[in-house]
Amino acid sequence: MHRCDLGLIGWGTVGGGVTRILAQDGGLLRERCGLDLRLKTIVTRNPSRAREAPAAGAAVTDRLDAILADDAIRTVIHLVGGTAEATEICRACLNAGKNVVTANKAMLALHGDELFQLAADRGLCIAFEAAVAGGIPVIAALRDGLVANHIQAIYAILNGTCNYILSKMESEGRGYREALADAQRLGYAETDPTLDVDGTDTAHKLAILARIAFNGRIPFAAIRTEGIQSITFDDIRSAHTMGCRIKLLAVAQRRSNGLELRVAPTLVPVDHPLASVSANYNGIFIQGHAVGTTLLVGQGAGAMPTASAVLADVVDICTGRYQATANRFTFFTQASPVSLLPENEELTGSYARFLVPDRAGVLAGIATILSKHGVSLLSIHQAAPDREGQAIIEAVTHPHRGGSFLKAVEEIDHSALTVRPTVTLRRL
């Protein structure tokens, strides 16, 4: 039996899941892996705060040095959120010669270059399965299971809060605010949900996935990111009539002329496997040249699913497996910077909903402007006018260069063809 003394920094939601598994299921890990995992010390901001989670036999303190100065602790579980302080703590752990297991995607998306280099220079590991899609082992799948593949595309639902909100809006006919309040009541959304609903959290995770999939350093700030705050029930209903659902999608697509990365609310046809990933679930659809397509689905957040991924990394490091495999990969140290395709070079299908005056020639006028900009239509139809004499025209396009569609819509909105700014969404 191999004994491993562990330190935990940050005893919140995920930290509580980790101590619960170690307290309740240590026997399972002993039996399966021959590992005696001992949580020796927990460092947390308020050690005296009452918690439901067990301490798993650990000493609890607010002194970071209790872990940093303890030579018996070789591996630290880092579960502090945010970026500045979290990065400082991670740096301190590496400088003290500790391997780090973290769930902090923001830290890795923004400061991964520096931290992974520091780990490599010191012969240490940073393991981060829990940072993307919680309990779904997508990092291991991309890094190990799909290692022989040129990854052509990843389409992913990576934020359970957004997926819950959009699913609720669709299934119960609710508005965005109402569905968000419901998510907050059930603990699926933070009191301040900004980083989830504005797409930033999804972009952090996409940056990490893309780095592994495309073996390059991803300029996080260059990922075009839109959130779900302006999605209305009308959008959901329109998507439904088009045979689609709206999902906040992370898209990574290899093109002949470069890499497209974006996060945006996207119409997903109902027969696509991602359309049925609902509620707070995450789904990752990956296309590789050898494997074809593969889909991973599961709980992308929550104490126990995320702790499940954290402990998988702990086991990998404590058995030496991580050092023998993951640490040999070049994703985080030797990869060169990747330049992303500008929006006007992206190839994407689109949906547009035009509110138009009910008069002859409007539909033809819209179709003409779209065609002038090289946008070809998959379908276009006009609904019956309302009592105010306005009608809705909905158009779905074939894939086109992103810039041309936006220019066409701008021209249409500046003409007398529409009565209010046009609603546009991307289509998978």
Ligand X SMILES: NC(=O)c1ccc[n+]([C@@H]2O[C@H](COP(=O)([O-])OP(=O)(O)OC[C@H]3O[C@@H](n4cnc5c(N)ncnc54)[C@H](OP(=O)(O)O)[C@@H]3O)[C@@H](O)[C@H]2O)c1
Our answer to whether residue 205 is catalytic in this structure is yes
Among 285-293, 298-306, 322-330, 369-377, the segment contacting ligand X (CB under 6 A): 298-306
Among 78-86, 287-295, 367-375, 382-390, the segment contacting ligand X (CB under 6 A): 78-86
Among 10-18, 237-245, 357-365, 415-423, the segment contacting ligand X (CB under 6 A): 10-18
- 13 lines the binding site for ligand X (CB under 6 A): yes
Between 9 and 261, CB nearer to ligand X: 9
The CA radius of gyration of the chain, in Å to the nearest whole number, is 24
Minimum CB separation of residue 156 from ligand X in Å reads 15
Among 6-14, 141-149, 262-270, 397-405, the segment contacting ligand X (CB under 6 A): 6-14
Among 112, 265, 283, 302, binds ligand X (CB under 6 A): 302
Among 225, 253, 282, 306, binds ligand X (CB under 6 A): 306
Minimum CB separation of residue 13 from ligand X in Å reads 4
What residues have CB less than 8 Å from 5, skipping those under 6 apart? 38, 40, 70, 72, 73, 74
Tokens of 367: 């179709």
Between 134 and 265, CB nearer to ligand X: 134
Phi, psi values for residue 70, rounded to 5°: -95, 105
- 332 lines the binding site for ligand X (CB under 6 A): no
Give the dihedral of Cα atoms 111, 117, 118, 124; nearest 10 deg.
120
- 46 lines the binding site for ligand X (CB under 6 A): yes
- Amino acid code (one letter) for 235: D
DSSP code at position 274: G
Among 80-88, 245-253, 371-379, 401-409, the segment contacting ligand X (CB under 6 A): 80-88
Between 10 and 265, CB nearer to ligand X: 10
Do the Cβ atoms of 354 and 393 come closer than 8 Å? yes
Minimum CB separation of residue 183 from ligand X in Å reads 13
Give the dihedral of Cα atoms 301, 304, 310, 316; nearest 10 deg.
-130
| Catalytically annotated residue among 98, 105, 168, 205 | 205
Among 4, 8, 10, 298, binds ligand X (CB under 6 A): 10
The dihedral sign for the CA sequence 134, 4, 34, 12:
negative
Q: How many residues bind ligand X (CB under 6 A)?
A: 23
β-pair type (390-397, 224-225) = unpaired
- 12 lines the binding site for ligand X (CB under 6 A): yes
Which residue has its beta carbon closest to ligand X? 12
- 49 lines the binding site for ligand X (CB under 6 A): yes
Q: At what angle do helices 402-414 and 362-372 cross, to 10 degrees?
A: 140
Between 86 and 409, CB nearer to ligand X: 86
The dihedral sign for the CA sequence 201, 226, 270, 349:
negative
Residues 96-115: x/- map of binding to ligand X (CB under 6 A)?
Answer: -------xx-----------
Between 304 and 338, CB nearer to ligand X: 304
Q: Report CA-CA distances (Å) from 3 to 35, 36, 42, 100.
A: 6, 5, 18, 17
Among 37, 43, 58, 93, binds ligand X (CB under 6 A): 43
- 130 lines the binding site for ligand X (CB under 6 A): yes
Between 64 and 423, CB nearer to ligand X: 64
- By CB atoms closer than 10 A (0-12, 13-18, 19+), residue 389 is exposed
Between 187 and 374, CB nearer to ligand X: 187
Do the Cβ atoms of 118 and 91 come closer than 8 Å? yes
Question: Within 13 A of 372's CA, how many CA atoms are on the CB side?
Answer: 13
Instruction: Tell which residue, 388, 136, 397, has the closest CA to residue 281.
Output: 136
SS3 for 393-414 is EEEEECCEEHHHHHHHHHHHHH
Catalytic residues: 205
Residues at the contact surface with ligand X, assessed by CB under 6 A? 9-15, 43-46, 49, 79-81, 85, 103-104, 130, 134, 301-302, 306
